[in-house]
Amino acid sequence: MLPPETGPKMIFRVFSFFYFLSRPLLKWLLHRFTNLCELQRICYGCPPGATRTKKVQMSLELSRRLPIKKLLHILNELVSNDVEDTFLRREIQTRAIGTVLQVKKINPKVHIDFPRSFGTCAERIWGYKRMYFMVEKLRATQYDCEEPEHEAKLMMLWKLLVGDEMTLTGRITDQWQHIGFQGDDPSTDFRGMGVLGLDNLLFLAQNYNGTARHLLSHSHHPKHGYFFAIVGINLTSMAYHLLKSGAARTHFYNHPQHHLTVDTFHQFYCYLFYEFDRYWVECKPKNIMDFNHIQRRFEENILKLLANDGCYFKMNLSVEDV
C-alpha cells in the first residue's frame, strides 16, 4: 500500500502524463468543433486575471510551434536585460500579439477582442518576469558601507522610524538594536538579501510611515516583541522566494496595475509584514525563539491563499496597538 504522501502525488503524475500525451489530440478536436485555437478559447472562456493569464502562459510554454518558441526566447531575453521599460512594454505587445495572430491565423477584424485580451495577459506574464529580474538585481547587490547611496538609505530608515526621539551617537552603535538590528552595525544583517532587504524596509517606512511606526512599537512589546529589522529582512526572503517560485503569480496577475514594477513588489512585502505582525500578535509567542515556527505557519497560510486564482492581497492600514 502506498504511503499517504506518495498516493496523491502518484495519481497527479499519472494524470499529468496522460493529459500531456493526449493534449495535442484534445486541442485538435476542440479546434474542429469550436473553430477557435486554444488561446482564443482561454481568452474568451476564462475570467480575466490570474485564471486567464496562467492558462495563456501554460499554453504558450507548451506550444510546439517554432515561431511561438522563438517568441518566448526573445521576450525572456529582453526582460533579462537592461532595456528601457517603455520599449520593453511595446516589444511585448507588438511581438506577442503579432506572432500569435500570424501563427494561429486569427483575423483581428473578426476577433476584435482577442488582441486586447491576449495582450493584457502577455504584459502580465513578462511584466512579472521583468519584475523578478529587477528584484533579483537588488538582492544580488550587497550592502556596501563605502557606497554613499546605501548609507544614505540606512540613515533615512532610522530617521523615518525614530524621528527626533533618539539621535544616533555614531554609525557603529548599539542604538541600531532599537529598530531591530542584531548588533552595532546593520550592514552585516543585509548579507542574505542584499540591498533588497534595506529597500523593502525603507519603502515601508516612507510610504506607510504610520503603519511602520506601529509595527515598530509592537516589536518593543515586553513579552511578545521581536526584532523589527531582522523580521523585516526575513520577510524579504519570504517575499523573494514566493516571487521566484512563481507562487506569487496569483497576486500579481490579479493586480489592478497592469505594469508591474519593483514598487509593486515592495507593496507586496508591506502587506506580508503587516499581516505577519498581526499573526504574531494573535499567536502570543512565549519569546523570540518561536519565530521560525510562527513564520513557517504564516507562510503556509499565505501559500494556501495564493493557491486560489482569485487571490489578491490589498493593504489594510488599520493597525491596533498590542
Cell of 255: 493586480
Q: Give dist(CA 124, CA 89) in Å, integer.
A: 10
Domain assignment of residue 298, yes or no: yes
Structural domain span for residue 236: 148-307
Kindly state whether residues 156 and 294 are assigned to the same domain.
Answer: yes
Q: Are residues 239 and 161 in the same domain?
A: yes
pTM for the model = 0.88
Give tens-digit pLDDT for 15-33.
555 445 555 655 544 445 5
Residue 40: inside a domain = yes
Residue 119 phi/psi, 5-degree rounding, is: -60, -40
Predicted pLDDT of residue 97: 96
Count of the separate structural domains present in the chain: 2
**Position 34 in a domain:** yes
The pLDDT of residue 31: 47
pLDDT, mean over the chain: 89
The pLDDT, as a whole number, for residue 2 is 44
Q: Residue 203 and residue 215: Cα distance in Å, rounded?
A: 14
List pLDDT tens digits, range 123-135. Answer: 999 999 999 999 9
pLDDT in tens, 197-226: 999 999 999 999 999 999 999 999 988 889
Query: For residue 250, which of 178, 310, 298, 183 has the smallest C-alpha distance?
Result: 310
> Does the pLDDT value for residue 320 go beyond 50?
no
* In-domain check, residue 318: no
Per-residue pLDDT tens for 100-114?
999 999 999 999 999
Q: Last residue of a domain, which of 124, 140, 156?
A: 140
Query: Does 81 share its domain with 210?
Result: no
Whole-number Cα distances in Å, 161 to 113, 213, 229, 254: 49, 6, 11, 32
180 & 269 share domain: yes
Residue 35 sits in the same domain as residue 114: yes
| Domain final position from 85, 105, 140 | 140
Q: Examine the fold and report which residue of 123, 140, 157 is the final residue of a domain before the chain moves on.
A: 140
The answer on 125 and 74 residing in a single domain is yes
Average pLDDT over residues 230-252: 98
If asked whether residues 115 and 228 sit together in one domain, one would say: no
Q: Is 217 contained in some domain?
A: yes
Based on the domain organization, do 257 and 300 belong to the same domain?
yes
- Is there a single domain that holds both residue 109 and residue 167? no
189/133 same-domain check: no
Residue 170 within a domain: yes
- Say if 205 falls within a structural domain: yes
Report percent pLDDT > 70 for the chain: 87
Taking 50 as the threshold, does the pLDDT of residue 245 lie above it? yes
Record the cell numbers describing residue 223, joined without a space. Answer: 513579552
- Is 107 among the domain residues? yes
What is the rounded distance in angstroms from the CA atom of residue 33 to the CA atom of residue 25? 12
Q: Are residues 134 and 170 in the same domain?
A: no
pLDDT band at 287 (very low <50, low <70, confident <90, very high): confident
* pLDDT value for 14: 55
- Same domain, yes or no: 163 and 294: yes
